[in-house]
Chains A and B, each alone.
Chain A
Amino acid sequence: MAAPRTCGLWSYCGRGLSRAKRNCGLPGLRSSWPWGPLGARLLSQEKRATETHFGFETVSEEEKGGKVYQVFESVAKKYDVMNDMMSLGIHRVWKDLLLRKMHPLPGTQLLDVAGGTGDIAFRFLNYVQAQHQGKQKKQLRAQQNLSWEEIAKKYQNEEDSLGGSLVMVCDINREMLKVGKQKAFDRGYKAGLAWVLGDAEELPFDDDKFDVYTIAFGIRNVTHIDRALQEAHRVLKPGGRFLCLEFSQVNNPLISSFQVIPVLGEVVAGDWKSYQYLVESIRKFPSQEAFKEMIEDAGFQKVTYESLTSGIVAIHSGFKL
């Protein structure tokens, strides 16, 4: 399984990332050692409360944020390309499914957190625009006998093609937002779109503001997931919906992205370490059921999840009632 080579690569490339290495354990083996992280905790009793994981590494909570920031800073420009490569373009289907599940109507206020490069935001805008145009066509068909006044009015008003919809893209990483903003400019998205540099754990929005909150492939990078969920609950309007698209526990044991993704990362983006982090952060994320419970703890109700592609990703949904 190319085990010794991986270990060598890991300790060589991982020099920047690694801290006190208890053992040169192979990443693959470590994942099947249940008492590995426990052993680390016994060593440092005082730090126990403030330690978290950065992939398979144990880091202090203050560090995780910074390290995650560096990962995304370095991958920002190649982010979309890597997504296509790693998921063979299927990530587009997942995001389309997320939008279909959301089924936003014109006038929806969406907050897309960790949405840096704008994938969800652009899909949202396309969706509500199509919905709005569909509505307008139906209206036209129904109103074949308009008076001259009404027809004149139609020419005067600059109608909002989005029907009052708005998407606020919030991300903690400036590089990702820059990429997103450039994409928006290139593709001609202007109306109903806003960009904010913000922390998912401390959102710069007032209570009861948004109809939908989405976070796609972002929540596993947050240091305190429970705080992010609580903030999500706070900023949603009553009746609002929480939607999370995230990597999940795979049902099919034959699929093992573990070795392939970092190699792809090196080949395409020239950045092995960041994609090693990606793989490990996926492994560390709680299972569908466990995450469902976390969402319920934050106050959401009617929490459900749907696994896609043999459980590679899952969409969790909850309501603020």
Chain B
Amino acid sequence: MLEFLVCPLSKKPLRYEASTNELINEELGIAYAIIDGIPNMIPQAARTTHQNKKQEEMEQH
């Protein structure tokens, strides 16, 4: 059923991250959590991922 879901803000597909049980929007750098088997697709509840910071670090090196 997770294939149905897209990011509510950008309507783009999401990547499922099994380790954190989240649906991640790479582009915007936000992650939607799945709690008790129910994905939380409320934009305000999503957390920003640290991927942007990681990219900056890699560029500096």
Footprint of B on A, CB under 8 Å?
166, 168, 172, 174, 177-178, 181, 194-199, 202-207, 209
Contacts and interface: CB of A to CB of B under 8 A. Distances in A.
- Chain B contact residues: helix, strand, loop or mixed: mixed
B1 interface: yes
A202 B9 contact: yes
Contacts of B35: 174
A202 B43 contact: yes
Contacts of B39: 196-197, 204
Nearest to A234: B11
Contact of B42 (A168, A178, A197): A197
A177 B35 CA distance: 12
Nearest to B39: A196
Given A168-B4, A199-B8, A205-B6, 13 more contacts: A174-B38, A174-B40, A181-B38, A194-B1, A195-B38, A197-B38, A197-B42, A199-B41, A202-B8, A204-B5, A204-B7, A204-B41, A205-B5
Select the residue from A168, A198, A204, A209 with max chain B CB neighbours within 10 A.
Answer: A204
5 contacts: A174-B40, A195-B38, A204-B32, A206-B11, A207-B11
Nearest to A197: B40
B16 to A, nearest CB: 13
Given A178-B36, A195-B37, A202-B9, A209 B4 contact: yes
Contacts, number: 54
Nearest to A194: B1
Contacts of A203: 8
Contacts of B43: 199, 202
Contacts of B38: 174, 177-178, 181, 195-197
Contacts of A194: 1, 4
Nearest to A166: B1
A249 to B, nearest CB: 32
Contact of A198 (B11, B13, B37, B41): B41
B28 to A, nearest CB: 13
Given A197-B38, A197-B40, A168 B9 contact: no
